[in-house]
């Protein structure tokens, strides 16, 4: 394009030079022609009148001979005295271009002639109209010819350049196609070209394309590095330097959900329970330090599992992937986490650190469904004790309509249970181990959907607690239990009712319960309310108010799952329970665990000193029952003693 513009400029300059030179040339010829014509006219007039006298010249004859022709534009005859004898004036209009040239050069001037006797004087001016027309014609011819000579190469060159440009574009496009197909330029690049012309063009372009290839490769590497840096930042948690939720989802989709190879393992959800409390009481910097410490514990323990991955998926939740790790082995992982969290809790003087929910996964397991299940496992862990863990097994999900439920599904189901009062009550007796010991039957609730499908009780209650719906469920169970006791004439028997920690710590629930029990005081005196030790320790003041209210209406209190809290002894006397149930973890394998035997014996001695009866729950074998009896506990409960049955 630049060369074409240069050609146009050159042609324009050449045209100007040619027109200027031609104009100058014909102008000179025009002046010369006028000069020659004036000389000839001067000679002709002088020759004609030189031997004539005034008497020989007839004015009329002279006029007819000289002045009437178109040779002169002006003709005047004077006598020797200068008196005008006659004159002829022909109006002459020169062509425009000739007039411009003549005006600038003033070539046509008046001429004079006299005879030999000097008695005749003639003044005349030559008519050059025919010369002017010739000059203008010649000028236009030169102008047209020079214009054509200037334009024709431009037009031809434009056509040629366009044709060449089209050919080059086609050839370069073919070369680029070969380059793209090859993906890079090599020594055999020219062999890929079809036509001889393209081969020639391709050979000349190979060095340039090699440079382009290296340039593009360098740029591509830079872009990839920049993209990786951005991805690392987008996939990295700023506090712990672990992968974030984006990285977790990407990892799960690539390596588990959409993988071609068979895979299985365990997935753990760790939820930091004290983050909000620390942020509010100690500041966000301490909260970040707390999160980093939890992350370090998780990374340290998970590092012993080959291929493990740790992600921080939100402010308080970590997800750990343990590839090729069965749930039985993942239980050890949960125990190790609980142990380390407990140590950290003691060092930092916290009430808890984190809970862990664990589930198994396999190839093609949808992520949403797996997260719903592990969230249920987390709710179960949170309902147990400080830093507790819970494994949700596949056997727990068989024929379980709630498998894969999310929060919205659970909320809908819980609302349906409350509205339809779909609660079924069963009892499981506590066997007294002495004649003077008063035991009771624990009322347990079972729940069903609108389709009459059984819901897992533990998961149901844990999700109700999580969704702040536990108070309504507790009220439903208490109302249903009181109605059943009255309708079945069981008011003389003792029954235990489970209360969730959120209900025990709710002032509104406590007011409602007190008023409800005062309506049936004869039944209230036969009721024992069971609350977990972990739940009571979450709010000591509220727990004490609840226990005082229960005692005030004549009912009693059992602290269940006792022994899992590190602060049990410190608050034992302040809470003043009537019964305690040792956690089932102490009963399991009791015949082989001397430490648990010693602890249970110690607790029995301490409890008996302040008038508190001690029960063992989760007794599943004859051996366990025998050991419990030797440890002087007051009662036992479990499937070995009695399975739950309808009231």
Q: Do residues 334 and 436 share a domain?
A: no
Three-state DSSP at 124 gives: strand
Q: How far apart are CA 183 and CA 578, in angstroms?
A: 82
Calculate what percentage of the chain has a pLDDT beyond 70. 85
| pLDDT band for position 406 (cuts 50, 70, 90) | low
Q: What is the CATH number of the domain that holds 477?
A: 3.20.20.450
More confident residue, 507 or 120: 507
Q: How far apart are CA 378 and CA 196, in angstroms?
A: 74
pTM of the complete model beyond 0.85: no
Tell whether 155 is covered by a domain. Answer: no
Tell whether 367 is covered by a domain. Answer: yes
Q: Do residues 458 and 520 share a domain?
A: yes
Tell whether 274 is covered by a domain. Answer: yes
pLDDT higher than threshold 70 for residue 395: no
Q: Do residues 316 and 414 share a domain?
A: no
Q: Do residues 500 and 384 share a domain?
A: no
Tell whether 209 is covered by a domain. Answer: yes
- Residue where a domain terminates, one of 345, 366, 397: 397
Handedness of CA 514, 519, 520, 521 (dihedral sign): positive
pLDDT digits (tens, 9 = 90+) for 563-586: 876 555 566 777 889 999 998 888
Q: How far apart are CA 551 and CA 338, in angstroms?
A: 35
Strand 423-429 relative to strand 645-646, pairing:
antiparallel
Q: Do residues 382 and 437 share a domain?
A: no
| pLDDT band for position 523 (cuts 50, 70, 90) | very high
Tell whether 184 is covered by a domain. Answer: no
- Residue where a domain terminates, one of 208, 233, 258: 233
Question: Residue 612's Cα: distance from chain center in Å?
Answer: 60
Tell whether 152 is covered by a domain. Answer: no
**What pLDDT score was predicted for residue 55?**
59
| pLDDT band for position 465 (cuts 50, 70, 90) | confident
Q: Do residues 435 and 370 share a domain?
A: no
Q: Do residues 374 and 419 share a domain?
A: no
Q: Do residues 209 and 88 share a domain?
A: no
| Domain with 99 in it | 2-136
Strand 354-362 relative to strand 264-272, pairing:
antiparallel
pLDDT digits (tens, 9 = 90+) for 172-225: 777 677 666 665 444 444 444 454 555 555 566 667 666 776 777 788 788 888
Contact 310, 295 (CB under 8 A): yes
Q: Which of 384, 429, 425, 498 is nearest to 636 (CA)?
A: 429
Q: What is the CATH number of the domain that holds 257?
A: 3.30.70.270
pLDDT digits (tens, 9 = 90+) for 422-439: 899 999 999 999 888 888
**What pLDDT score was predicted for residue 569?**
59
Query: Average pLDDT, stretch 403-416?
Result: 77
Tell whether 180 is covered by a domain. Answer: no
Q: Do residues 411 and 543 share a domain?
A: yes
**What pLDDT score was predicted for residue 129?**
75
What is the number of helices (H) and of strands (E) in the chain?
A: 23, 20
Contact 146, 107 (CB under 8 A): no
Q: What is the DSSP secondary-structure string of 245-281?
A: HHHHHHHHIIIIIS-SS--EEEEEEEEESSHHHHHHH
Q: Do residues 326 and 437 share a domain?
A: no
pLDDT higher than threshold 90 for residue 534: no
Three-state helix/strand/coil letters over 294-337? HHHHHHHHHCCCCCCEEEECCCCEEEEEEECCCHHHHHHHHHHH
- Residue where a domain terminates, one of 371, 397, 423: 397
Handedness of CA 445, 449, 454, 456 (dihedral sign): negative
pLDDT digits (tens, 9 = 90+) for 46-64: 777 776 665 566 555 655 5
Residue whose token pair is 């991955």: 309
**Domain tally, the chain:** 4
Contact 402, 369 (CB under 8 A): no
Count of Cβ atoms closer than 10 Å to residue 551 Cβ? 13
Average pLDDT value over all residues in the chain: 82
Q: Do residues 33 and 79 share a domain?
A: yes
Q: Which of 365, 359, 105 is nearest to 257 (CA)?
A: 365
Q: Do residues 598 and 500 share a domain?
A: yes
Query: Average pLDDT, stretch 109-115?
Result: 76
Tell whether 200 is covered by a domain. Answer: yes
> Which residues are within 8 A (CB) of 588 and not within 5 positions of it... i.e. 6 or more apart?
618, 620, 624
Count of Cβ atoms closer than 10 Å to residue 320 Cβ? 24
**What pLDDT score was predicted for residue 398?**
40
Q: How far apart are CA 413 and CA 450, in angstroms?
A: 8
């Amino acid at each position: 394009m630049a060369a074409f513009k240069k050609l146009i400029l050159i042609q324009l300059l050449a045209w100007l030079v040619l027109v200027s030179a031609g104009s100058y040339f014909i102008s000179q010829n025009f002046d010369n022609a006028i000069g020659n014509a004036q000389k000839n006219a001067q000679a002709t007039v002088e020759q004609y009148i030189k031997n004539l006298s005034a008497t020989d010249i007839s004015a009329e004859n002279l006029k007819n001979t000289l002045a009437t022709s178109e040779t002169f534009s002006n003709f005047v005859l004077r006598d020797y005295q200068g008196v005008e004898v006659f004159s002829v004036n022909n109006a002459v209009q020169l062509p425009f271009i000739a007039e411009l040239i003549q005006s600038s050069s003033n070539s046509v001037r008046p001429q004079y002639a006299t005879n030999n006797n000097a008695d005749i004087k003639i003044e005349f001016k030559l008519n050059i109209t025919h010369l002017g027309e010739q000059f203008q014609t010649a000028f236009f011819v030169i102008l047209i010819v020079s214009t054509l000579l200037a334009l024709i190469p431009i037009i031809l060159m434009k056509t040629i350049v366009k044709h060449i440009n089209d050919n080059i574009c086609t050839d370069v496009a073919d070369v680029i196609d070969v380059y793209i197909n090859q993906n890079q330029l090599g020594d055999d690049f020219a062999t890929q070209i079809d036509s001889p012309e393209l081969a020639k063009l391709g050979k000349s372009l190979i060095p340039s394309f090699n440079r382009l290839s290296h340039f593009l490769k360098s740029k591509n590497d830079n872009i990839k590095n920049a993209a990786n840096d951005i991805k690392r930042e987008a996939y990295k948690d700023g506090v712990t330097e672990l992968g974030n939720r984006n990285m977790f989802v990407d990892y799960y989709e690539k390596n588990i959900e959409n993988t071609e190879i068979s895979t299985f393992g365990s997935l753990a959800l760790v939820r930091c329970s004290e983050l909000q409390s620390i942020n509010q009481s100690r500041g966000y910097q301490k909260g970040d330090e707390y999160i980093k410490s939890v992350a370090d514990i998780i990374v340290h323990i998970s590092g012993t599992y080959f291929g493990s991955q740790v992600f921080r998926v939100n402010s308080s939740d970590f997800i750990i992937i343990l590839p090729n790790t069965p749930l039985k082995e993942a239980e050890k992982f949960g125990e190790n986490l609980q142990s380390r969290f407990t140590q950290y809790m003691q060092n930092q003087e916290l009430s808890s650190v984190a809970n862990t929910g664990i589930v198994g996964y396999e190839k093609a397991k949808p992520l949403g469904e797996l997260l719903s299940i592990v969230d249920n496992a987390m709710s179960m862990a949170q309902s147990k004790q400080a830093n507790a863990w819970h494994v949700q097994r596949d056997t727990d999900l068989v024929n379980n309509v709630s498998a894969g439920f999310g929060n919205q599904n659970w909320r809908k189901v819980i609302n349906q249970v409350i509205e339809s009062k779909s609660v079924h009550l069963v009892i499981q007796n506590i066997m007294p181990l002495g004649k003077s010991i008063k035991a009771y039957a624990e009322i347990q609730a079972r729940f069903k959907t609108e389709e009459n499908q059984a819901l897992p009780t533990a998961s149901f209650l844990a999700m109700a607690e999580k969704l702040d719906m536990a108070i309504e469920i507790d009220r439903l169970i208490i109302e249903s239990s009181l109605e059943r006791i009255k309708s079945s004439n069981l008011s003389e028997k003792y029954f235990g009712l489970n209360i969730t920690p959120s209900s025990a710590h709710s002032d509104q629930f406590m007011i409602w319960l007190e008023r409800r029990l005062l309506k049936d005081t004869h039944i209230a005196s036969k009721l024992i309310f069971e609350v977990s030790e972990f739940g009571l320790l979450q709010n000591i003041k509220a727990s004490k108010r609840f226990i005082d209210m229960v005692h005030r209406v004549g009912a009693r209190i059992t602290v269940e799952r006792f022994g899992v809290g590190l602060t049990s002894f410190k608050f034992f006397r302040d809470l003043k329970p009537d019964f305690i149930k040792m956690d089932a973890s102490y009963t399991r394998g009791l015949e082989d665990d001397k430490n648990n035997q010693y602890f249970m014996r110690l607790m029995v001695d301490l409890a008996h000193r302040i008038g508190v009866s001690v029960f063992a729950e989760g007794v599943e074998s004859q051996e366990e029952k025998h050991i419990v009896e030797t440890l002087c506990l007051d009662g036992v409960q479990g499937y070995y003693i009695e399975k739950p049955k309808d009231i």
